[in-house]
Amino acid sequence: MEKKKLQKTAAVHLVCAQKLNSKGWSAEESHYIGEKAGQEADYCILPYPRLRVVVFYPQKIEDEAARLEKIRRVAAEVLSVLRKEKTGAVEVDGTAWRNEEDVLAFMEGLYLSSYVFDEFKTEKASGVEISLKANPAVHKKLARTQILCHEVNRCKYLVDLPFTALNASGLAKWAKKDASKSGISVKSWTKAELEKMGMGGLWGVNKGSVDAPSFTMMEYWPAKPKNKKPVVLVGKGVVFDAGGMNIKTGNYMEDMKTDMAGAALAMAVVRTVAQLKLPLHVVALLPSTDNRLNGNALVCGDIIKMYDGTTVEITNTDAEGRLLLADAVAYAQKNLNPALVVSMATLTGAASRALGSEGIAAMQEKADRYVPCLLQAGEYTHERLCFFPMWKEYEKELESEVADMKNCGKGAAGMITAAKFVGHFTQAPFLHLDVAGVEFLHKRDAYRGPGATGFGIRLMVRFLENCAL
């Protein structure tokens, strides 16, 4: 069923409280707008003769990153109000705001908060058309915002899909969809090919499933890239995580359709880079399976051999994501000669407990020079990171008596030991982004949620645009 399109149109005027132009407003309206501005309201509503919203510029917030986030959040609130008014179209007039980035932030807030997951509802939500009247310089940059937000919302859709609608093979198909139109080449390996390649981590986790695994590579390689070696994004694609033989209990399994968020993020970043035609050689590796339990599933005490030959003792089958990531990272090390490896994953509950839904737990080895640029990108997009140490002493947690290493420590510093495990499989500069806690929200937070958030895409695109690779 197609989404309904409502006919009601609302106008949104972005204004500066200190420079209100009475032209176009009645005396009564001008008085009301001025009164609201004096009360330091974020916006006010004029219902007659047509629905109009007047949004005031947040001039008292001097910090640029904080101001942009405020604007995004106000935009989300405005759209929420207009949805309740059954508005079918929103016409934004941004000509009064001089700063281009401020206007684009408002549009970003509208686009991101316009996403609704109603795939399985009989009655679909009404679609909202959004348009902008602004200075030519803003319109030149608007395409970037539209592409970026479209890919964030596409990522949200994939993460929100239930396991019945998106298994590992389905994820590989989504990676191929429309990729060639943007100059992205895509290669996927079959289950038999993965076994022959020696992908013991991915193969081992898949032993408990009735569905085949998938391993997909998306590559954007423009004619004259700035980077001589590729940036490789490795995304965890566990389409459902039941925990394997260490089965999850209680409500811990409730949101496990989202355990492929890392793969969806990596996919979206490459697609965005390609559509923006950034001069960067970027690769996404997407190892994918579900983690269920049947007669052939891995059990504790099993020893598997990874892609690079490392033997791993399984001490917890619910620490499966790192096995997928490790095989993909090892593949990148051997075949792609990466300048930088970035793993993206909903990897540990420890990350969620440490930072909640406010930021990404980040770790790095040999990638110090990228940290300032990444932190700056995080502040600008309000997709913030907190870096945790990767001290050598944490490796002791992964020592095994019967194999080269264990797949899981005893619990302390769980997000760090998980990153240590994945980082073992590359010698390239390594960044690890644990997005557990930020990738899915049960309650709406402005333009994030409810449901999948796409948190990390805007951060990584900004990082790739601005960092010298």
- Same domain for 206 and 83, yes or no, is no
Residue 225, domain member (yes or no): yes
Q: Give me the pLDDT at residue 126, please.
A: 80
Q: How many domains does the chain have?
A: 2
In sequence order, what are the residues at sequence separation of 6 or more whose Cβ sits closer than 8 angstroms to the Cβ of residue 152?
112, 268, 454, 457, 458
DSSP-derived 3-state class of residue 376: helix
Q: Give me the pLDDT at residue 1, please.
A: 38
Q: Spot the catalytic one: 36, 248, 305, 366.
A: 248
Give the helix/strand (H/E) hosting 14: strand 9-15
CA distance 397 to 409: 5
Q: What range does the domain containing 245 cover?
A: 163-466
Residue 384, domain member (yes or no): yes
Strand partners, 220: 184, 282
Complete DSSP assignment for 98-165: --HHHHHHHHHHHHHHT----TT-SSPPPB-EEEEE--HHHHHHHHHHHHHHHHHHHHHHHHHS-GGG
Residue 139, domain member (yes or no): no
- Same domain for 102 and 168, yes or no, is no
- Same domain for 116 and 211, yes or no, is no
Strand partners, 56: 15
- Check if the beta carbon of residue 279 is closer than 8 Å to that of residue 225: yes
Residue 143, domain member (yes or no): no
Q: Spot the catalytic one: 271, 322, 384, 406.
A: 322
- Check if the beta carbon of residue 104 is closer than 8 Å to that of residue 145: yes
- Same domain for 80 and 174, yes or no, is no
Residue 147, domain member (yes or no): no
In sign, the C-alpha dihedral spanning 119, 3, 112, 75 is negative
User: Which of 83, 116, 134 delimits the end of a domain?
Assistant: 134
CA distance 93 to 76: 16
- 154 annotated active-site: no
Q: Note the pLDDT tens digit of each residue in 233-278.
A: 999 999 999 999 999 998 889 999 999 999 999 999 999 999 999 9
Q: Give me the pLDDT at residue 7, please.
A: 58
The CATH number of residue 185's host domain is: 3.40.630.10
Chain position carrying tokens 């995580």:
241
User: Which of 81, 114, 134 delimits the end of a domain?
Assistant: 134
Strand partners, 431: 342, 364
Nearest to 380 by CA among 295, 273, 320, 465: 465
- Check if the beta carbon of residue 450 is closer than 8 Å to that of residue 460: no
Residue 352, domain member (yes or no): yes
Q: How many CB atoms lie within 10 A of CB 164?
A: 10
- Same domain for 282 and 333, yes or no, is yes
Q: Is the peptide bond before 162 cis (omega within 30 degrees of 0)?
A: no
- Same domain for 172 and 123, yes or no, is no
Q: How many CB atoms lie within 10 A of CB 181?
A: 9
- 322 annotated active-site: yes
- Same domain for 325 and 374, yes or no, is yes
- Same domain for 167 and 129, yes or no, is no
CA distance 82 to 9: 9
- Same domain for 225 and 315, yes or no, is yes
- Same domain for 316 and 366, yes or no, is yes
- Same domain for 120 and 196, yes or no, is no
In sequence order, what are the residues at sequence separation of 6 or more whose Cβ sits closer than 8 angstroms to the Cβ of residue 29?
46
The CATH number of residue 73's host domain is: 3.40.220.10
- The rounded Cα 123 to chain-centroid distance in angstroms is 28
Spell out, as residue ranges, where the chain has pLDDT lower than 50.
Answer: 1-2
User: Which of 82, 117, 134 delimits the end of a domain?
Assistant: 134
Complete DSSP assignment for 312-369: EE-S-TT--HHHHHHHHHHHHHHHT--SEEEEEE---HHHHHHHTTS-EEEEEES-GG
Residue 296, domain member (yes or no): yes
Q: DSSP secondary-structure letter at 260?
A: G
- Same domain for 285 and 398, yes or no, is yes
Phi and psi at residue 280, to the nearest 5°? -135, 140
Q: DSSP secondary-structure letter at 445?
A: B
CA distance 207 to 146: 41
Residue 351, domain member (yes or no): yes
Q: Note the pLDDT tens digit of each residue in 378-433.
A: 999 999 999 999 999 999 999 999 999 999 998 789 999 999 999 999 999 999 99
